[in-house]
C-alpha cells in the first residue's frame, strides 16, 4: 500500500489533481461571491489564500515532479495551506457560534504583509466585505466554515498520508 502511495506521489498526475481540486474551490468561492451574492469576510479571504497555497503546491509539485526540491516545496505549501486553512476555518466556526459575544470579532481589513497587499492589488478576490459572524449559507445543516473544516481536514489527512509514505520509502531505501 505504501509503495502504491509513494508511486502516486512521484506521478505528476497526483500533484495536478491537488492543484485542480484547489482551483475548483477557488472558482466555487468566486461563484458564491459573484453568482450568489455572498460577501466574503476576513476569515473567508484568509481561507482563499490557504487554498491558493495548496494550489501553488500542487502546481510546483507537478511541474518539478522529478526534482526532490520541487516536491519538497510542494509538500510544504500543501501542509501550510491545509493546516493554516483548517485552523482558520475552526476559528471562523467559533466566531459564528459566539456571534453575539464581544470577544469574538474579526478585522475589517485583511492583515496581509505590507510588501504583498493582495486586497489592494486584487480587490475583486481579496477584499473582505462580509461579516464573520453571519451565517448566510448552509448545506445539510452545516455552514460554509464548517464545510471548510471538512475540506481542510481532508487536505491535511491526505498530506499526512502521502508525505509519510514518501518518508517511509526514503527510509527503506537508505537502510
Q: What pLDDT is recorded for position 50?
A: 96
pLDDT exceeds 60 at position 84: yes
Share of the chain above pLDDT 90, in %: 43
Q: What pLDDT is recorded for position 99?
A: 66
Cα 27 to Cα 108: distance, rounded to the nearest angstrom: 23
Residue 143 DSSP label: E
Tell me how far apart the terminal alpha carbons of the chain are, to the nearest angstrom.
19
Going by their DSSP bridges, the two strands 142-143 and 138-139 should be labelled as antiparallel
Average pLDDT over residues 99-115: 69
Residues marked active site are found at 41, 44, 48, 106, 132
Beta bridge partners of 90: none
Cα 31 to Cα 23: distance, rounded to the nearest angstrom: 12
Share of the chain above pLDDT 70, in %: 90
Containing structural domain, residue 64: 2-174
Cβ atoms of residues 85 and 152 within 8 Å = yes
> How far does CA 95 lie from the centroid of its chain?
19
Q: What pLDDT is recorded for position 98?
A: 78
Cell of 106: 474579526
Q: What pLDDT is recorded for position 10?
A: 78
Count of structural domains within the chain: 1
- The DSSP element (H or E) to which 61 belongs, if any, is helix 42-63
The CATH number that applies at residue 165 is: 1.20.1550.10
**157 falls in which pLDDT band (50, 70, 90)?**
very high
Angle at 131 between CA 141 and CA 20, to 5 degrees: 65
- The DSSP element (H or E) to which 84 belongs, if any, is helix 68-97
* pLDDT tens digits along 35-54: 998 988 888 999 999 999 99
Amino acid at each position: 500500500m505504501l509503495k502504491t502511495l509513494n508511486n502516486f506521489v512521484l506521478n505528476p498526475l497526483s500533484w495536478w489533481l491537488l492543484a485542480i481540486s484547489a482551483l475548483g474551490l477557488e472558482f466555487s468561492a468566486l461563484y458564491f461571491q459573484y453568482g450568489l451574492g455572498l460577501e466574503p469576510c476576513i476569515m473567508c479571504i484568509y481561507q482563499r489564500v490557504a487554498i491558493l497555497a495548496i494550489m501553488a503546491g500542487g502546481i510546483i509539485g507537478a511541474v518539478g515532479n522529478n526534482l526532490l526540491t520541487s516536491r519538497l516545496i510542494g509538500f510544504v505549501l500543501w501542509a501550510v495551506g491545509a493546516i493554516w486553512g483548517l485552523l482558520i476555518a475552526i476559528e471562523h466556526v467559533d466566531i459564528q457560534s459566539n456571534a453575539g459575544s464581544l470577544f469574538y470579532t474579526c478585522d475589517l481589513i485583511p492583515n496581509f504583509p505590507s510588501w504583498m497587499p493582495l486586497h489592494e492589488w486584487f480587490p475583486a478576490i481579496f477584499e473582505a466585505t462580509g461579516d464573520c459572524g453571519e451565517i448566510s449559507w448552509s448545506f445539510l445543516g452545516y455552514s460554509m466554515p464548517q464545510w471548510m473544516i471538512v475540506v481542510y481536514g481532508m487536505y491535511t489527512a491526505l498530506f499526512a498520508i502521502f508525505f509519510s509514505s514518501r518518508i517511509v520509502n526514503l527510509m527503506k531505501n537508505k537502510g
